[in-house]
A and B are shown apart, each in its own frame.
Chain A
Amino acid sequence: MECRDVRERLAERALGTLERDAARWIDRHVGWCAACRREAEELAEGAAAIPLAVGGPAPPPALEGRVVRAVSRAAGRSSRGRRVAVVAAAIAGVVAATSIAWALSVQDRIGVLERAAGRAEREAALSTAEWARLFGFFADPALSATLVPVGRGTGGGRAVVYDSQKGADSAVVIVGGLPAGGRYHAAIVTPSGNVALGRLSPTSPGSLAVSRIFRDDLAGAEAVVVRDARGRDVLRGRLGRFRA
């Protein structure tokens, strides 16, 4: 598009009366042509002078509050979305990193897995450095639980629940040592009922994990349970203040 053709249409562009396609061509041209851009800006100032000079009556007083709320709502939704994306990426990274470490520890172990809570705690402690790195992102405190076998079961793990005051709530569960081939689901126990975390998926041999970002509030989370396909608790842990 030649400058002459563009300049012929800059006044229409400033007055907002150009067809959409033509307006896009003009905008692309002025994006790189300094001379046409200068003229476009001058004509746009002329167009803006119309409502600025003519002015108008004061809007109703209540409109200001509505506008502030509308913009704040839009900004809040966008901020939450960005935070969710950051949390999701961080969790995915930690799950991948810690599952590998976890799997190695399980594979290295010789003999039958012990049921003692202390052993489960030691297994979980392999991932604490990664947990600390993950939750260094966040200003609000997180809760964690060491998952120990229920009854005569095997295995163990760690759960972290992040109850954010401003953004998305999230939770991660990593376990190992459960009988192979089984299907396991994790849930968060709250006063108002269980909140499903989802099915644990293998991340590496012997290691299972699940993570989830929640739109709902996880305030009051008390414990985390891992259940088998028949709904029986196989691992359980009470949530307390996160310890790295």
Chain B
Amino acid sequence: MTDPAGPLTPAAEQELMRRLAAGDERAIRTLYARFARPVFGMGLRMLGGPDAAEELTQDVFVAAWRKAGRYDPARGRLSTWLMAIAHNLAVDRLRRRGAPVPTATLEELAATPVSEEDDLIDRDVVRRVLGGLSMGERRLLVMSYYGGLTCREIAEEEGIPIGTVKTRMRTVLIKLRRTYAKEA
């Protein structure tokens, strides 16, 4: 799903980023091989089309190169760092466009292929990772992560207190972290 060759050790991640910072082509391709798919997928789901998703993907890897010198494995995994860069860029574009509140469910987003020839995603892993979330929690994820809505906007949209939104957000993320860590 992410690391085609298995997860990297923190030392290997740091070495990869050092080489990326130096503009090493093999490092660029290694990083691309590991993370282009989830980044591209994020772009498709958040920005609505393959052109925008491709542009996002390109910009994410250029941003990764620009920030490579600041990557510190002691502060977290490379996958976390890169997905945060990708997500921040995607949310910026979403907000600039003033996108409407997303109405798709997380499963619908997860199931969205681009064409029939696309590789199947590992639906079992998705089911296990998302399976522990309630309907409300999944909806919250879609609105916040894929829709870029703030807590206040979600609270207003759903008619629930903002404190409840914040607490649920935290719970969802902790669940996801635990479940995904078992799968990865």
Contacts and interface: CB of A to CB of B under 8 A. Distances in A.
B47 interface: no
A75 B27 CA distance: 12
Interface residues of A, number: 45
A47 B84 contact: yes
B39 interface: yes
Interface string B34-78: 001111111011000010011001100110011000000001110
Given A11-B169, A12-B151, A52 B141 contact: no
Interface in A6-34: 8-12, 14-19
B125 A18 contact: no
Contacts of B126: 53-55
Contacts of B50: 60
B58 A63 contact: yes
Contact of A51 (B86, B88, B91, B169): B86
Given A46-B176, A68-B25, A75 B65 contact: yes
A57 B43 CA distance: 11
Given A12-B150, A64-B32, A53 B87 contact: no
Interface string A179-220: 000000000000000000000000000000000000000000
Contact of B36 (A47, A48, A63): A63
A43 B180 CA distance: 12
Main secondary structure of the interface of A (DSSP, over half): helix
B79 A48 contact: yes
Contact of B91 (A16, A58, A59, A78): A16
Contacts of B40: 56-59, 63
A57 B114 contact: yes
Nearest to A9: B166
B88 A16 contact: yes
B149 to A, nearest CB: 6
Given A56-B42, A57-B40, A50 B77 contact: no
Interface in A127-148: none
A202 to B, nearest CB: 41
Interface of B: 1-2, 20, 22-23, 25, 28-29, 32, 36-42, 44-45, 50, 53-54, 57-58, 61-62, 65-66, 75-77, 79-80, 83-84, 86-88, 91, 106, 109-110, 113-115, 118-119, 121-122, 125-126, 129-130, 141, 144-145, 148-151, 166, 169-170, 172-177, 179-181, 183-184
15 contacts: A10-B170, A17-B148, A17-B151, A43-B174, A48-B77, A50-B145, A52-B1, A53-B129, A53-B183, A54-B106, A57-B114, A59-B36, A60-B50, A67-B28, A68-B32
